[in-house]
Structure 1
Amino acid sequence: MRAILIAAALLTGVAPAALAQSASPAPAQAAAPPAAPAGAFERDRQSILAQAGQYRVHFDMRENVSFRADYDPLEEKLSGGSEIVRVVHDQGDRISLQHILVMEHDGQSIVVKHWRQDWAYQPEAVLTYAGPNQWTLTPVPADQRQGAWSQTVWQTDDSPRYGGVGRWTYDNGLAAWTSDATWRPLARRDAVRNPVYDRYLGTNRHILKPDGWVHIQDNMKMSGRDGGEPIAIVQEDVINTYDRSSAYSPKPGDDYWAATKAYWAAIRDQWDAVIARDGGVRLAEEGETGAVTGAPLMDLAQQMADGEIAEGDAIARGRAVILEATAAR
């Protein structure tokens, strides 16, 4: 259960300072962005795969401009943590990367399965956020998917978060992917406050750098609670910087992943089955964990990693949690 509480606090990249104290990263060896192979497709693939590794991550969130007279932007929030990114699968035109936080607190290792990013080349559809409690499979027109990659982001329990489509470019010495504008649910840092806004409209950029990569978000925080067209409240920049580091051991994270990856593969398959069944997902959101499935699914994984429940039982219970949460009401 302790891991669940930590996961809730870390949802979508906000690590509590008290739990994110680790050694300063050792100087990273500079590595140039991937050289261009013969084909643009393979160059893009290598850019995506270059995000895998071992990092010290810095999270910087800043509300900048208010568009409502009675709203004052929040002060800047800074945090950080140690995070490994592992390749779940590489099927050529389908790549999945799992983020896992690895921290030290009071001399003990703390491991939290974090977010996952799935990439698909020239996708026919992408799972997008459609407003509170609803995600839908959205077709991608043929002219928009030519040469493009979708990125679908999943929460700690592998429930959906957001998806978008964009292209990798290599101008001005930068390997960068930029998404279209995508709707997203509130991150925990906002959801637990019950703010005047209830969703984001954001643009993502993933840019490689010599010692890692950076994830830049341009978020317009919006309110759609009156049932009409969402109204802009405030603009936010989020800059999450992944600096390669060997200053900590990735073993606790890799051990957790080895112990639980079969469980999480089954959970991913169950989410995929629901999405195929319903053309998306209807799932109640919850401020602390993102979705009502967050705590029970994370708890089952931890119990399995601790040897308290058999793998088959954990998978069966996890599937039941998802089916119950997504059953037609």
Structure 2
Amino acid sequence: MKTKSFLVSASMLLVAINGNSQEAKKQQDKKVIRSMCGCYEVQFNFAETFSYPKDTAKYVPSKTKHEKALEWVELLEDTDNKIVLQHILITGKEENDIVKHWRQDWLFENTELYKFNKETNWKYKKLDAKEVKGQWTQKVYQVDDSPRYEGSGTWINVDGRTFWQNTTDAPLPRREHTKRDDYNVLKRRNIHEITSYGWLHEQDNDKIIRDENGKDYVLAQEKGYDTYTKVDDSKCNVGINWWTKNKEVWKKVRAKWDAEFAKDKDLTLKKSVEKKPLFMHLFDLKADASTDEVNKIIDDFIVK
């Protein structure tokens, strides 16, 4: 009986130790994610590395891209299992030089994804809880807060490095979608790494042609290397002020999308309404636009 009691006590102690260790890891992960907030000088770098066109004579590779900007990363939400970061792009000194940029939501042990299919279609996918044990899902949204790409992975701390990585399908990036129509899916291999200067977003991507049967052909590959160098917050004041004035209307936009995502079904969007894409309609809204105005615009783009 004493041996049995000892084994039970030891088992309970091990469970408690493991539980404390897992909670400590989760809290460390949250600290790492929050560290991506603040004001950054960003260098966007993309280069096409390899190409495999069937007609080499007609193929024109994408030009190498090097661009710089300031970016303010605002902490919108910080709860037990969710952290929301909003990016504000600053290209000048006036409010007209501000662009509401992409958004990244981080969800702990999330089991629901909207996986990009092709064109303007996303497939709802339910994951097994065992698949995402201890992992964080990064959900990336477009400038209009519609879905872009999502994937789950573990934050790794090893050999002095702290990073997260995942591979998932995505729409064409903005730098390409108005210039290229010879592929329809970008398979993104994303690495987010915390660095001494701030953080790094590294990518190794496949430009894919996906046919109606879901068969993929890799047209080309590219390297992305975006560095976020931390600077004093005061350098982003124009972006901070712009967001303070406009954050309420975008809160209504997020609420509408959250209601749509909660339906747990596939989503298809129209490319344009009245010859304008969704982001242009939403960017035209005034800061005090009503919930009904916001909802109508988004409803008009959702294919029923």
Using structure 2 for the length normalisation, give the TM-score: 0.85
Deviations 1:208-261 (A, max 9, x none): 001200001111000124645010011111111100123963222111211121
Which residue type is aligned with residue 59 of structure 1?
F
Highest relative contact order (Cα 8 Å, sep 6+), 1 or 2?
1
- 1:112 is matched with which residue? 99
Which among 90, 107, 123 is matched to residue 110 of structure 2?
123
The gaps in structure 1 that reach 5 residues or longer are 1-35, 305-310
Match of 2:221 in 1: 235
Q: Which residue of 2 aligns with 1:25?
A: none
Taking the TM superposition and a 5 Å limit, the aligned residue runs for 1:182-193 are 182-193=168-179
Change (3 A) 1:246 1:279: same
Match of 1:65 in 2: 50
* In structure 1, C-alpha distance between the alignment counterparts of 2:243 and 2:233, rounded to whole Å: 20
The answer to whether the 8 Å contact 2:50/2:222 transfers is yes
Letter in 1 for 2:254: R
1:55 aligns with 2:31: no
Kindly provide the CA deviation profile for residues 250-275 of structure 1, in whole angstroms up to 9, marking residues without a partner as x: 22211121112121111111011112
Structure 1 pair 100/230, CA: closer, same or farther in 2 (3 Å)? same
Counterpart contact for 1:178–1:205, Cα < 8 Å: yes
Distance in 1, matches of 2:91 and 2:35, equals: 23
Residue number in structure 1 paired with 2:235: 249
Provide the residue aligned with 1:138 in structure 2. Answer: 125
Alignment partner, residue 14 of structure 2: none
Inter-partner Cα distance in structure 1 for 2:265 and 2:152: 18
TM-score (norm 1): 0.79
| 1:220 and 2:170 are equivalent in the alignment | no
CA separation in 2, counterparts of 1:209 and 1:109?
Answer: 32
Runs of 4 or more consecutive aligned structure 1 residues displaced over 3 Å after TM superposition = 225-228
Contact 2:41–2:228 under 8 Å retained in 1: yes
Check whether the contact 1:156–1:298 (CA below 8 A) recurs between aligned residues: no
Displacement of 1:315 in angstroms is: 3.0
> Letter of the aligned partner of 1:326 in structure 2?
I
Task: Say how many residue pairs are matched.
Answer: 279
Query: What is aligned with 1:294?
Result: 279
Write the letter of the residue equivalent to 1:219: N
